């Protein structure tokens, strides 16, 4: 592990401030399981950022979910008040300024509608993408809610 030198991670470091340290790994942290393996934490502690597109307005909708949970698109649609669609890589990049696999939960080029999985509050320590597919940072639930501007909600798909 080393301090993240990549421009996207450095830009995010400026946004999150000195309280949080963006770190970069030699191995990928692109998926929740990859990130957990690199960090040495439980997959559920990974706060994954998933971008959807609001069908009527075209606005980006960010779901911050626990690494072990799938987002229930029907629940998310009800919260947004309109149907949502899966976003393609171009939309994600255009709206957030980051590539899929490294999208952090804050610092997006265009503000998103943000919801956070209530299950994440069960963990003292969370890890979120740090702007590149190899960068992450450690954060607590309350700080993540505050920095992302998220609304806490039940967005997990029932098993």
Domains of the chain in start order, with CATH, are 2-153 (3.90.960.10)
53-92 residues labelled b (16+ CB within 10 A) or e (exposed): bbeeeebbbbbbbbbbbebbbebbbebbeeebeebeeebb
pLDDT exceeds 80 at position 4 = no
- Tell me the per-residue pLDDT of 35-89, one tens digit each, with 9 for 90 and over: 999 999 999 999 999 999 999 999 999 999 999 999 999 999 999 999 999 999 9
- Asked if residue 127 lies in contact with residue 35, where contact means CB atoms within 8 angstroms, the answer is yes
Residue 112 is predicted with a pLDDT of 95
pLDDT at residue number 9: 77
Question: What's the mean pLDDT when you consider all of the chain?
Answer: 93
Place of tokens 């030699």: 26
* Residue 2 scores a pLDDT above 60: no
* Length of the chain measured in residues: 159
What is the pLDDT at residue 41? 96
For residue 127, give the nearest of 143, 112, 108, 115 by alpha carbon: 143
Sign (positive or negative) of CA dihedral 69, 52, 105, 100: positive
């Amino acid at each position: 592990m080393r301090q993240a030198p990549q421009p996207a991670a450095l830009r995010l470091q400026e946004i999150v401030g000195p309280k949080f340290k963006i770190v970069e790994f030699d191995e990928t942290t692109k998926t929740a399981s990859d990130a957990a393996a690199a960090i040495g934490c439980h997959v559920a502690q990974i706060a994954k950022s998933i971008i959807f597109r609001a069908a009527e307005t075209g606005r980006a909708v960010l779901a911050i979910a626990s690494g072990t949970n799938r987002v229930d698109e029907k629940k998310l649609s009800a919260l947004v008040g309109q149907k949502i669609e899966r976003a393609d890589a171009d939309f994600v990049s255009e709206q957030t300024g980051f590539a899929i696999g490294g999208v952090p939960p804050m610092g997006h080029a265009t503000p998103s509608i943000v919801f956070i999985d209530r299950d994440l509050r069960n963990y003292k320590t969370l890890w979120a993408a740090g702007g590149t597919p190899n960068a992450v940072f450690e954060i607590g639930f309350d700080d993540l809610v505050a920095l992302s501007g998220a609304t806490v909600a039940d967005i997990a798909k029932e098993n």
